[in-house]
Amino acid sequence: MRLSLKDIAKALNVSKTTVSWVLAGQGDKRKISLSTQEKVLAYARKVNYQPNLLARSLTNGSSFTLGLVIPSIGDEFYAHIAREIEMEAEKYNYSLTFCSSEADPERESKIIRMLKSKRVDGLIIAPTKHSRKELDILIEEKYPFVLIDRYFPELDTNYIILDNEGSSHRLVTRLIRDGRKKIALITSDTHLLVMNLRRDGYRRALSEAGLPVIPALYGEVKRSEYETDIVRVLDGIFAEVPDVDGFYFATHYLAMEALRYFYRNGVDITAKVGLACLHTMSSFEILAPRMYIVEQPIRDIGQQAVQILVSELENADDSKKMQTKKKLVLPAIMNFS
Amino acid sequence: MRLSLKDIAKALNVSKTTVSWVLAGQGDKRKISLSTQEKVLAYARKVNYQPNLLARSLTNGSSFTLGLVIPSIGDEFYAHIAREIEMEAEKYNYSLTFCSSEADPERESKIIRMLKSKRVDGLIIAPTKHSRKELDILIEEKYPFVLIDRYFPELDTNYIILDNEGSSHRLVTRLIRDGRKKIALITSDTHLLVMNLRRDGYRRALSEAGLPVIPALYGEVKRSEYETDIVRVLDGIFAEVPDVDGFYFATHYLAMEALRYFYRNGVDITAKVGLACLHTMSSFEILAPRMYIVEQPIRDIGQQAVQILVSELENADDSKKMQTKKKLVLPAIMNFS
DNA sequence: CTGAAAGCGCTAACAC
DNA sequence: GTGTTAGCGCTTTCAG
């Protein structure tokens, strides 16, 4: 059986309080005699006492657990994010409970409510489009949270995102500098604001170079069945614009599937078409060493997210209402210049 | 402010008990008048009551949280495992707290103790070599847990692993059937039992085919710096056995780095050398479509792990001592025959 | 039909 | 120096 403070107290004929103080390292501060302290410590070690953190959380009102809500832990990007967050959180003695929303707003809402019920101290959320309602509640309740990867500009929340428009602009401009003139944009999940920003960057790059935005070079892939749908999209583009000479992928998995397509169909991805992608996967370096890539600053995102949360938690009492939200737009990491 | 049962009770002039019963859906069973029930439900909905799960856990002795201990959530394999586990756990209303051990036994011990302190109901662990001590304690305490991916045959625990020896044997035999005669084994983490089993399978395949086990064809890569160390290993093999005609990689990231090496050095991986790997990464299909691959049955592993745990938890009282441990050796999934 | 009260394991204000 | 006590929010036995 696992034993409690009370058991120790009883066994040593002291009070729970004494044991609690000593084990909390406040023995000296509370002027508990050295002999008692030793006795308690020795006994606790002997029976391998482990405090019940549930009880402590209930008492203290803080669980030292953070909740992580992401589309899917199986996605390489979010898995890496999770890792960084975990590492940073550990520095502050927080552990992580994660839940995959599957990009389903219903699920996301349920998850957020559940995590709140489990009394996680704060949330890190990569939101899907329609989670607005639940976020409104969080804001109203002053529940600490920070959005990552996606955000809602009209909401006063902490968020950390990539400079999507600027990154897109850099990538497409780079392709143009290589002499590419008919650059296709392959995108998906266009209900997401960040995806619109990426498209905006693409358009700005084209128009700054005096190139037309050709509708036939715009490919939108259905997220839910992207492996097959991208074939349709690419087939379409090659059919309508046979001399397409560049592809800009708005996100990693689109590039991945396109590469599969290019390999299968023998498309020469160094001479015939130039490639660019926002986001990366570890295999791109081999599969398409010439592809221009903007990487998300994963480490930064994770670290900042945790730090923002922790600092809000530490100042929870004094400045609850005065907290000004951090809105971070991080610069891209590029594999080119 | 978040309100409690007591608040509701007070507001409605009923007792906590009544509210608790009604909200637990036991209103009818406890014969609480319909009018009271409605009143309570309506009010709870109106104020958006969310029970404090910490308190409930403390009372009930079960937190509906499982702990997941893996080497790293950033690794594609473990991220996928985590996803399957999460999906299965959700069916039983469990959520997941995960911690990466970084393959460090010290960290792993700390993590396990911490998760126990947080009173997770059970643990799913992909153990590192030296975590034996902590596992002994778990066994002694009858704490529910299941090992995945790795195991200790001398310990009476639940575990779910791949048929490592058999899978290796199949892969190498397949290469031999292609006429490969000088097949290198590239491995790492050789302190792990599962790695030894993979080597055994390799050896058995060779000897069954009457081929010699050539020491110069054995490459052991240092895990901690595998990206660079594998270059040394491969350089060595090509230097000593220039006509090496096959590579068997004991795990995915070795194959990944080797592919990088092959691409960089222009090694023809269809004609000159045949490839085989135990474990996969999503990019292999493109990078090396001819590589023979054994995939881990990820879904099965995740589902079984959760089911074993849940069933132990459900039978916690009656048969604590009689529980016989599940020892599962799952067959491989192959991309060849 | 409903409520009082104990208890889960811990902390902390307040005695003595 | 140390102990008493109340309370965190919930469930559940037992009494009305």
DSSP structural state of residue A182 = S
C-alpha A168: how far from its chain's center?
20
* CB-closest option in A58, A96, A114 to B55: A58
pLDDT of residue B87: 97
Q: What pLDDT was estimated at residue A318?
A: 58
Say whether pLDDT at A184 is over 90.
yes
pLDDT score recorded for residue A271: 87
Q: DSSP of B239-267, one letter per residue?
A: HH-TT--EEEESSHHHHHHHHHHHHHHT-
Nearest CA in chain B to A62: B54
Listed residue (B195, B167, B200) closest to B296, CA to CA: B167
Q: Which positions on chain D have an atom < 7 Å from some protein CB? A: 1-5, 7-13
**Rounded distance between C-alpha atoms, residue A51 and residue B183, angstroms:** 54
Over the Cα atoms of chain B, what is R_g? 26
For residue B96, the chain A residues in CB contact (below 8 A) are 97-99
- Interface check B320 vs A, CB under 8 A: no
The predicted structure's pLDDT at residue A129? 78
Q: How far apart are CA B104 and CA B100, in angstroms?
A: 9
Dig out the tokens for B40 from the structure.
Answer: 């309570």
Confidence tier at A132 by pLDDT (50, 70, 90): confident
Q: How far is A35 from chain B (nearest CA, A)?
A: 27
Q: Given phi > 0 = left and psi -120 to 50 = alpha, else beta, which region is A102?
A: left
pLDDT the model gives residue B10: 86
Question: Kind of pairing, strands A65-70 and A95-100?
Answer: parallel
Does B96 sit within 8 Å of A98, measured CB to CB?
yes
Average pLDDT over residues A38-49: 89
Per-residue pLDDT 10s for chain B (337 aa) are 678 888 888 888 888 889 999 998 887 787 788 888 888 888 899 899 999 999 999 999 999 999 999 999 999 999 999 999 999 999 999 999 999 999 899 999 999 999 999 999 999 999 987 777 899 999 999 999 999 999 999 999 999 999 999 999 999 999 999 999 999 999 999 999 999 999 999 999 999 999 999 999 999 999 999 999 999 999 999 999 999 999 999 999 999 999 999 998 989 988 889 999 999 998 898 889 999 999 999 999 999 999 999 999 988 765 555 679 999 999 999 999 8
- Residue pLDDT, tens place only, A242-284: 999 999 999 999 999 999 999 889 899 888 899 999 999 988 9
Using the beta-carbon criterion (under 8 Å), do B256 and A282 form an inter-chain contact?
Answer: yes
First vs last Cα of chain B: how many Å apart?
Answer: 62
Euclidean distance between CA atoms B126 and B204, whole angstroms: 27
* Binding-face residues of A in 28-87 toward B, CB within 8 A: 48, 50-55, 57-58, 63, 65, 72-76, 79-80, 82-83, 86-87
Nearest-CA distance B39 → chain A (Å): 23
Closest alpha carbon to B81 in B292, B291, B295:
B295
Distance of B63 CA from D6 C1′ (whole Å): 25
pLDDT digits 0-9 by tens, A276-322: 999 999 889 888 999 999 999 999 999 999 999 999 998 876 555 56
Residues of B with Cβ-Cβ distance to A50 under 8 angstroms: 113, 116-117
Query: In whole angstroms, what is the distance from residue B335 CA to residue B290 CA?
Result: 10
Q: What is the pTM of this model?
A: 0.93
Q: Which residues pair with A183 in a beta bridge?
A: A246
Residue B268 CA from chain centroid, whole number? 34
Report the pLDDT value the prediction gives residue B34, as an integer from 0 to 100: 84
Q: What's the confidence (pLDDT) of residue A65?
A: 97
The yes-or-no verdict on residue A105 having pLDDT over 60 is: yes
Which DSSP letter does residue B71 get?
S
Quick count: other Cβ atoms within 10 Å of Cβ A173?
A: 18
**pLDDT reported for residue B2:** 78
Q: What is the CA radius of gyration of chain A?
A: 26
pLDDT of residue A92: 97
- Taking Cα atoms as reference points, which of B205, B179, B200, B176 lies closest to residue B190? B200
Return the amino acid letter for A204: R
pLDDT at A2: 78
What lies within 8 Å, CB to CB, of A293 at 6+ separation is A276, A277, A278, A279, A280, A284, A334, A335, A336
Report d(CA B255, CA A32) in Å as an integer: 60
Residue nearest to nucleotide C12 (CA to C1'): A17
Rounded Cα gap, residues B287 and B262, in angstroms: 11
DSSP bridge partners of B109: none
Angle at B202 between CA B198 and CA B203, to 5 degrees: 115
pLDDT value of residue B318: 58
Q: Do the strands B292-295 and A122-125 form a parallel or antiparallel pair, or are they unpaired?
A: unpaired
**Non-local CB neighbours of B163 within 8 Å, separated by 6+ positions:** B329, B330, B331, B332
% pLDDT > 70, chain A: 98
Mean pLDDT computed over A126-130: 86
Element housing A66 (H / E)? strand A65-70
pLDDT score at A270 = 85
Residue of higher predicted confidence among B183 and A130:
B183
Interface of A with B in 123-182 (CB under 8 A): 137, 141
Distance CA A278, CA A323 (A): 33
Rounded Cα gap, residues A246 and A239, in angstroms = 15
Stretch A202-218: mean pLDDT: 97
How high is the pLDDT of residue A322? 63
| Per-residue confidence (pLDDT) for residue A95, from 0 to 100 | 97
